[in-house]
């Protein structure tokens, strides 16, 4: 996420930190480099101009140049400017006091509206809401079926209606069903087009006028760059958008849309899509995103994500097993599953600050398949073997390798890693292995 831009900005700031003393000249040079980095990241040129001019004015302020550590002050100014450009404050959904809250999802075809509707429903369910989904896309084949499948996957209500109903009729009937079934949020997935046309806008305006949604969220494909920003402007002129959902942000190495769209349209980013899984939707925090771009990490989001997916009782149970030296391969596999729920290793490392011993973790090349292989090897063991790794002899290792579609070498490697992790966890909890009494030799087993 924002990898190219992040690397360039960090390099510019690192160079400034290396200067013994900041002068108007090296600040001017840094601003030129920053301007070029932002333009190469496909940030709107007007936004780049305002951003760099504001930075320059603040960086050349008398207080900065005379401060004890001017380079650190410049880093703070850059971070503050990024936060402002990204939206300033977190913008959340405004729920009505008279449910259901109606959320209308709009955007161009292919941006990810249907998937985002399902992800939003899953996110709302985690917040304790009772969402219902309805598709009013009567043009795209299987659009309704796709949303129905997603609703089952995320375990939320779905209003199907009939094939003969118009988009407006589907909306009204879904609203009645939501009221009768005590659903407190109705998410309306509308039809998209490959381009903006009057027919599409007329239909959306009619739904907007009759249904009067509480929120209209425009789904933006962040990979489209400034074309997506221009589409957002046109939709806003016709409908009046309340917020954006940025999709495919995990694959956007530039970041032009995220850094442009609020400044250009005046509309906040409310959610970001960070992966293909249905739980890969996050509330957008401008301050946390600015910190990630500058290599300061996003530990708060990492903690929140971990709290959502990690079973606290299970965590306490594992801790007790580690202390009592009863941590098994079964527990090892459960820990791998917990990590997978938080996100990919690459995503987790990307949230860590690039300082001290963590400095190069984000640059590690991690083979995600290794975790899958490890889980497969453990699953191929018998319950008895998982609970007592000491009984896994040569013949058992061959059987496990065949059952998991791996090799004896990989099975041996896993067992070695497991023993190392046991020792490491003992060290973290302050446990030292028991030694035999002085003067007596331990019997061989």
Q: Is 192 left (phi over 0), alpha (psi -120 to 50) or beta?
A: beta
Which of 1-15, 43-57, 306-320 ranks highest by mean pLDDT? Answer: 43-57
pTM here? Answer: 0.69
Distance CA 308, CA 131 (A): 19
- Together in a domain, 243 and 338: no
Tens digits of residue pLDDT in 105-151:
998 888 889 999 999 999 999 888 999 999 988 888 788 899 999 99
- Together in a domain, 251 and 204: yes
Q: What is the per-residue pLDDT for 443?
A: 47
Residue 171 resides in a domain: yes
Which of 302, 330, 351 is where one domain is finished? 302
Residue 436 resides in a domain: no
Least confident range from 152-166, 176-190, 343-357: namely 343-357
- Together in a domain, 130 and 273: yes
- Together in a domain, 262 and 370: no
- How would residue 427 be classed by pLDDT, with cut points 50, 70 and 90? low
DSSP-derived secondary structure letter, 131: E
Q: Give the chain's mean pLDDT.
A: 79
Which of 86, 112, 142 is where one domain is finished? 86
Q: What are the distances in angstroms from CA 344 to CA 11, 302, 355, 366?
A: 26, 12, 21, 9
Residue 139 resides in a domain: yes
- Together in a domain, 288 and 240: yes
What CATH number does the domain containing 71 carry? 1.20.120.140
Residue 96 resides in a domain: no
Least confident range from 22-31, 68-77, 175-184: namely 68-77
| 285 pLDDT above the threshold of 50 | yes
**Considering its fold, how many domains does the chain have in total?**
3
What is the span of the domain harbouring residue 406?
312-428
Per-residue exposure over 101-131, b if at least 16 CB sit within 10 Å of its own CB, e if not: bbbbbbbbbebbbbbbbbbbbbbbeeeebbb
């Amino acid at each position: 996420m924002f990898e190219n831009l992040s690397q360039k900005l960090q390099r510019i700031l690192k160079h400034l930190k290396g200067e013994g003393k900041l002068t108007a000249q090296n600040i001017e040079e840094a601003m030129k480099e920053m301007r070029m980095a932002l333009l190469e990241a496909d940030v709107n040129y007007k936004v780049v101009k305002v951003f760099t001019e504001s930075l320059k004015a603040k960086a050349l302020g008398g207080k900065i140049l005379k401060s004890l550590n001017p380079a650190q002050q410049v880093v703070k100014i850059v971070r503050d400017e990024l936060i402002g450009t990204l939206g300033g404050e977190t913008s959340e959904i405004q729920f009505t006091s008279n449910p259901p809250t109606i959320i209308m999802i709009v955007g161009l075809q292919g941006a990810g509206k249907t998937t985002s509707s399902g992800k939003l429903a899953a996110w709302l369910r985690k917040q304790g809401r009772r969402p219902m989904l309805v598709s009013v896309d009567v043009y795209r084949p299987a659009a309704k079926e796709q949303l129905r499948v997603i609703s089952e996957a995320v375990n939320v209500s779905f209003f199907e209606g009939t094939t003969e109903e118009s988009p407006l009729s589907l909306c009204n009937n879904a609203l009645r069903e939501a009221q009768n079934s005590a659903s407190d949020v109705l998410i309306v997935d509308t039809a998209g087009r490959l381009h903006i046309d009057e027919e599409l806008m007329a239909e959306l305006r009619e739904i907007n006028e009759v249904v009067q949604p509480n929120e209209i969220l425009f789904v933006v494909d962040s990979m489209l760059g400034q074309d997506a920003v221009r589409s957002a402007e046109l939709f806003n002129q016709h409908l009046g958008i309340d917020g954006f959902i940025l999709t495919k942000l995990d694959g956007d190495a530039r970041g032009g849309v995220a850094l442009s769209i609020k400044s250009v349209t005046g509309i906040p980013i409310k959610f970001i899509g960070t992966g293909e899984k249905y739980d890969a939707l996050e509330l957008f925090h401008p301050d946390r995103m600015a910190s990630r771009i500058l290599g300061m990490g996003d530990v708060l989001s990492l903690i929140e994500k971990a709290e959502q997916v990690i079973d606290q009782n299970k965590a306490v149970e594992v801790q007790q097993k580690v202390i009592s030296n009863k941590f098994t391969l079964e527990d090892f596999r459960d820990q791998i599953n917990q990590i997978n729920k938080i996100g990919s290793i690459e995503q987790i490392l990307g949230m860590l600050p690039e300082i001290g011993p963590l400095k190069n973790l984000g640059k590690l090349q991690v083979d995600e398949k290794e975790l899958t292989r490890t889980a497969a090897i453990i699953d191929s063991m018998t319950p008895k073997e998982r609970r007592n790794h000491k009984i896994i002899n040569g013949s058992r290792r061959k059987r496990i390798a065949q059952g998991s579609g791996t090799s004896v070498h990989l099975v041996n490697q896993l067992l070695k890693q497991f023993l190392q992790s046991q020792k490491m966890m003992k060290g973290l909890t302050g446990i030292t292995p028991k030694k035999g009494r002085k003067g007596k030799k331990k019997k061989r087993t």
